Structure 1
Amino acid sequence: MTTLLDGLVGKALRRETPSRDEALAVLTGAEETLDIVAAAGRVRRHFFGRRVKLNTIINMKSGLCPEDCSYCSQRLGSSAEILKYSWISPEEAARTADQAVRAGAKRICLVASGRGPGARDITRIEDTIAAVKEGSPEAEICVCLGLLSDGQAERLAAAGAHAYSHNLNTSEARYADICSTHTFTDRTDTLRRAGAAGLSPCSGAIFGMGESDEDIVDLAFALRESDPDSVPVNFLIPFEGTPLADNWELTPERCLRILALFRFCFPDVEVRLAGGREIHLRSLQPLALHLANSMFLGDYLTSEGQPGTDDRQMITDAGFVIEGVDERTLPDARHDLVAIRRRGAGSDLPANT
């Protein structure tokens, strides 16, 4: 192993951040990709062993979003021929969740298109959480509803949500190139609200949108500052009818290097294989399991994933095991760092300011 990779492994095991030069070298340096995967795999095994956490998405409301995110098939002006529907019932969501849990999913992600939820939307999600918990009380519930306003994160936490997901998606410097209807700061503000309410922060990225190596590193470092517990790594699905329909720039090797960088930057955090893995990693998906300790099972928001039976077989064939519902995902030391807020807004104790 090279001096660079030895240094990266040592830093990661000490939970230290790579330098900018080290991070850039992972993406475009002279080291062989397999050597990089092997080095980052050491970090993954140290903190997470050979466990793979399974997650599933339930798209509660699809399409007709007023935001103009260039990568999204649900965006304003999209002509992608996706399913479009209003809110599904809590009972339908609970049935889907139960099926996913029986297939091995540990986290259920309730997602709805839109800029952000209104009061009625929060009530719908509260009812859905209750319905899911009634049938699958052991499941983690993650909610993704867009930008949050005052008091909404607290309501979701009180309803039994475990996490809130809101990706930063790309670097702050180029965010306006991807979306004009909200800002990078809007997204970081929502993450702050979720964390302050005691929700586990989930935030990641989408790659393949024309970003440079510098953009990737900027985003990784920005995500570190937000201190998420889970980091989904998406690879662009270039939907026809969206501005990025012709962006087919990713290779399996590029995807593996990005995943390795995120493992070095987030050594003890849940790094999740997310949308686009099937079409961009292709036959190298099993190698990605040596970097990510979590993945989505089943379909995504508006596109289909590979069959769950194939995913479970891939995990077994690669020598990994599915994480059980009674197992901790984050290592013990990481759990010690996650302090649930018990003071300030919503409590009888003064804020820590």
Structure 2
Amino acid sequence: MNIKSLKNKIIQGHRITKEEALTLINAPLNELCQAANEIRQHFCGNRFDACTIINIKSGKCSENCVFCAQSIHYDTKIEEYNLMDKNKLKQETLNLYNHGFKRISYVSSGRKISSSEFNVIIEVIRELRTLQNDINICVSLGLLSSDEIRKLNEVGATRVHCNLESSEKYFPHVCSTHSYSDKIDTLEKINDTRLLACSGGIFGLGESFEDRVDLAFTLRDLNIRSIPINVLNPIPGTLVGSNDVLDNDEVCRIIAIFRFINPSSFIRMAGGRSLLVDHGRCAFMSGSNSAILGNMLTTLGVSFDEDLDMIRGLGFQICFDII
């Protein structure tokens, strides 16, 4: 199908089919990216949803995700530490808030956190929301129960993150210590509350483009509004430590196709963006309208000032409080 015709149909309310999406894999890249950017402008305007993360617990993860430096199954020499002290976590959060970052995500290693760790996080969120009612705290805590999600909802957390990583078909090549359905179950529980679900994938693991398309449709079916796009940063010692890094063109094509499938979502450049030669500039003009700013979990990101200058220079309005 002609890209322009398909773009116009989507703008008029058409939900793209998988057959149509697969034709985009070999479509002319510049035309595809321009059309994706126009879809983004139509549905989202120039709003740019920014967040930053705090790695609240590092390493010692029981899961065997093939890309993860924090897994106990791989020797990666990363810094390991238990859950951050409550007062230290509050102070780090307030430091970011006082520098203008009103959306901050707490990310913990592990399949799931313990009840005592969860209670600390709940207390911190409750106290911060009492101090600053415009602060937005998101969490990425692994697999969660209905009761934990209910408590996060009650204290005023805004988003809960749980990446699907890849398609259901390819997921057994990504992890064998938990299942795709475990993740879907967590996301469906989140969708039963006022909390927003955040879920995306990591690209460059060896998956096919059809796997990427299938993931995008799964996220659409789950009505995910925040979709992180992670580019594999190959960590020596992991099972994909020798994989090639995706180039700019392939990343832009992934983002553009995700925009065609999820026209009104915030498609968020996340891990691995610093590996791109332009730090994501072309990606932000290919349908992406969101990013994690600052450092990632175990790797360095792009500097805040450089990011803010680039994003504003592209005509976006940076927001830390979009729901």
Residues 164 and 201, structure 1, Cα contact 8 Å, conserved in 2:
yes
CA distance in 2, matches of 1:92, 1:15: 47
How far the C-alpha of 1:135 sits from its partner, in A, is: 4.6
Residues 27 and 254, structure 1, Cα contact 8 Å, conserved in 2:
no
Query: In 2 relative to 1, CA 13–170 (structure 1 residues): closer, same or farther, beyond 3 Å?
Result: same
Residues 15 and 268, structure 1, Cα contact 8 Å, conserved in 2:
no
Residues 66 and 239, structure 2, Cα contact 8 Å, conserved in 1:
yes
Return the TM-score normalized by structure 2: 0.94
Q: What is the DSSP-based 3-state SS (H/G/I as helix, E as strand, rest coil) of the residue aligned with 1:238?
A: coil
**Residue of structure 1 in register with 2:278 after alignment:** 283
Deviations 1:57-98 (A, max 9, x none): 111100000010111111122211222100112322222223
Residues 15 and 267, structure 1, Cα contact 8 Å, conserved in 2:
no
Q: What is the DSSP-based 3-state SS (H/G/I as helix, E as strand, rest coil) of the residue aligned with 2:105?
A: strand
Letter in 2 for 1:198: R
| Unmatched runs of 5 consecutive residues or more in structure 1 | 330-353
**Residue of structure 1 in register with 2:149 after alignment:** 153
How far the C-alpha of 1:168 sits from its partner, in A, is: 0.6
Q: Does 1:228 align with 2:224?
A: yes
| Unmatched runs of 5 consecutive residues or more in structure 2 | none
Query: In 2 relative to 1, CA 234–312 (structure 1 residues): closer, same or farther, beyond 3 Å?
Result: same
Spell out the pairing of 1:321-332 with structure 2 (5 A cutoff).
321-323=317-319, 325=321, 328=322
**Residue of structure 1 in register with 2:258 after alignment:** 262
Match of 2:186 among 184, 190, 198: 190
Return the TM-score normalized by structure 1: 0.86
* Root mean square deviation, CA, Å: 1.7
Q: What is the DSSP-based 3-state SS (H/G/I as helix, E as strand, rest coil) of the residue aligned with 2:55?
A: strand
Residues 107 and 139, structure 2, Cα contact 8 Å, conserved in 1:
yes
Letter in 2 for 1:79: D
Letter in 2 for 1:144: S
**Residue of structure 1 in register with 2:200 after alignment:** 204
Q: Does 1:113 align with 2:126?
A: no
Deviations 1:313-348 (A, max 9, x none): 1112223231264xx45xxxxxxxxxxxxxxxxxxx
Q: What is the DSSP-based 3-state SS (H/G/I as helix, E as strand, rest coil) of the residue aligned with 2:166?
A: coil
How far the C-alpha of 1:26 sits from its partner, in A, is: 2.1
How far the C-alpha of 1:197 sits from its partner, in A, is: 3.1
CA distance in 2, matches of 1:324, 1:93: 19
How far the C-alpha of 1:103 sits from its partner, in A, is: 3.9
Q: What is the DSSP-based 3-state SS (H/G/I as helix, E as strand, rest coil) of the residue aligned with 1:173?
A: coil
Letter in 2 for 1:287: C
Query: In 2 relative to 1, CA 237–308 (structure 1 residues): closer, same or farther, beyond 3 Å?
Result: same
Letter in 2 for 1:45: Q
**Residue of structure 2 in register with 1:6 after alignment:** 4
Query: In 2 relative to 1, CA 106–179 (structure 1 residues): closer, same or farther, beyond 3 Å?
Result: same
CA distance in 1, matches of 2:102, 2:20: 34
Residues 27 and 213, structure 1, Cα contact 8 Å, conserved in 2:
yes
How many residue pairs match? The answer is 322
Letter in 2 for 1:21: E
